[in-house]
Amino acid sequence: MVFSTFLRLLILTFGTSSLVSCYSIKQAVHFNGLFNSREKISEVIVEQRYEARILAKLDSVNEILEFALQEGLNVGGSYAHYIHIDKKNISYTVQAAKPLEMKSKRWWFPFVGSVPYLGFFDKNERDKKADELKLRYDINKGIVGGFSSLGWFDDPILTPMLRRSKGSLAHLLFHELTHRTFWSVGSTRFNENLAEFSADIMTEKYLSQNNQTLALEKYRNGKSDKIKFKTWLGSLKTKLSELYKRKDLDQQSKLLEKERVINEFKENSPQFSSKRYDFVTKKKWNNASILAFSLYSPNTDQFMNAYHCSQAKTMGEFLQKLEDAEDETDDNFKALTYLCLANGKKGQS
């Protein structure tokens, strides 16, 4: 999963308090150490400091950024530096939700607003917080594949990001650069859905224009599995939401039925072409994990309609029009409809 921003990771326990916990200081110190170890990608490539595989991916980063600039995204100084780390993941997250309510627990932070997760650089710190939360909530422990500081800092490339395929790497960078270009304060669902939509459109366009036939085919095959997963997850979420509203069952009966429904869905999960979705039948699904994965399995029809209605020639132009529409409506999702109404169009599916 991809989460924005590293800023959240530094202030994740500040909340509305002016007191800085020792825990938050640990996060800041950890990131500061990483940030100070960054190297200019241009120098890394010229001096051939790392193995060929890493150098090739770093060269791809420059190509992806050039395309992002052409599309009008706010690249700034992002991804001009590389941080070499041996860890498999950049950082870690925990999400929480009540056992019988399909609603994420949320935390509020300055600059970014309300978010449905906490981020950690240290896995043990994350696990400690998860143990505390699971006394009252369903919890989901996740990993971070990338982040954006929303333009507050020049984001670096870290080694785990380079383990992705070319299509997946492009998708990740386009996702994070979309956050950097436009962020709607206080609506994580809107921002993540928008970034996934933007990244999907741009990745296909980028791979096609650069004649990356095999990479494009692999990316599209992955999209097919993603649609299957989204449909499966959406059905599970709906089934459980309906269960929680039932008035003929007591709490214990609902918990037992919840477990039965989840097991039934796992046993009847789709046939995926990629091993990437092997986790579906193995994962301990609960409200927190369903909501966590739902963030990155969005329904993008509304965004596609607004995109066509806007008649934007680049993604950057669309994001600017969307930001202007939000100012007019004072609501992010209503801004999507406003774009079509303003242009006298109904959009396309």
Give the model confidence (pLDDT) of 216-225 as tens digits: 998 988 888 9
* Average pLDDT estimate for 12-25: 38
For residue 231, the model assigns a pLDDT of 93
pLDDT at res. 16:
33
Please determine, for residue 91, whether its predicted confidence score (pLDDT) is greater than 60: yes
Q: What is the pLDDT, as a whole number, of residue 316? A: 97
Q: What is the pLDDT of residue 216?
A: 93
Q: Quick one: which of 304, 311, 312 has its CA closest to 349?
A: 304
Alpha helices (runs of H) in the chain, residue ranges in sequence order? 6-11, 22-36, 41-47, 52-70, 123-133, 166-181, 188-209, 213-245, 251-267, 287-294, 301-310, 315-329, 332-342
Structural contact between residues 106 and 115, judged by C-beta atoms closer than 8 angstroms: yes
**Band of pLDDT at residue 150, cut at 50, 70 and 90:** low
Residue type, 331: D
Q: Is pLDDT above 50 for 22?
A: no
Q: Which residue has the higher pLDDT, 242 or 122?
A: 242
Asked if pLDDT for residue 148 goes beyond 80, the answer is: no
Which has the minimum average pLDDT: 9-13, 80-84, 89-93, 229-233? 9-13
Q: What is the dihedral of CA 283, 285, 290, 291, to 10 degrees?
A: -110
262-321, pLDDT tens digit by residue?
999 999 999 998 888 999 999 999 999 999 998 776 678 889 999 999 999 999 999 999
Kindly calculate the radius of gyration of the chain based on its CA atoms and give it in whole angstroms.
21
Tokens of 166: 């070319």
Enter the tokens of residue 337.
């409809």
Q: How many other β-carbons are positioned within 10 Å of the β-carbon of residue 77?
A: 11
Amino acid present at 55: L
Mean pLDDT of the chain: 85
DSSP 313: S
Task: Give the per-residue pLDDT at 88.
Answer: 80
pLDDT at 182: 93
Q: Does pLDDT of 258 surpass 60?
A: yes
Q: What percent of the chain has pLDDT over 70?
A: 84
Give the pLDDT of residue 185: 77
What pLDDT is recorded for position 332? 85
Give yes or no for residue 86 having a pLDDT over 80.
yes
Name 97's bridge partners. 104, 138
pLDDT band for position 329 (cuts 50, 70, 90): confident
Question: If you average pLDDT over residues 315-333, what whole number do you get?
Answer: 91
Is the backbone of residue 67 left (phi > 0), alpha (psi -120 to 50) or beta? Answer: alpha
Question: Is beta strand 107-109 parallel, antiparallel or unpaired with respect to 113-115?
Answer: antiparallel
In the predicted structure, residue 134 carries a pLDDT above the cut 50: yes
Identify the residue whose tokens are 């202030």: 11
Predicted pLDDT at 189: 82
Residue with more model confidence, 268 or 348: 268
How far is the CA of 207 from the CAs of 215, 223, 324, in angstroms? 7, 14, 30
Output the pLDDT for position 89: 80
What is the tens place of the pLDDT at every residue in 197-215?
999 999 999 999 999 999 9
Residue pLDDT, tens place only, 26-74: 555 666 667 778 899 999 999 999 999 999 999 999 999 999 999 999 9
Residues β-bridged to residue 81: 40
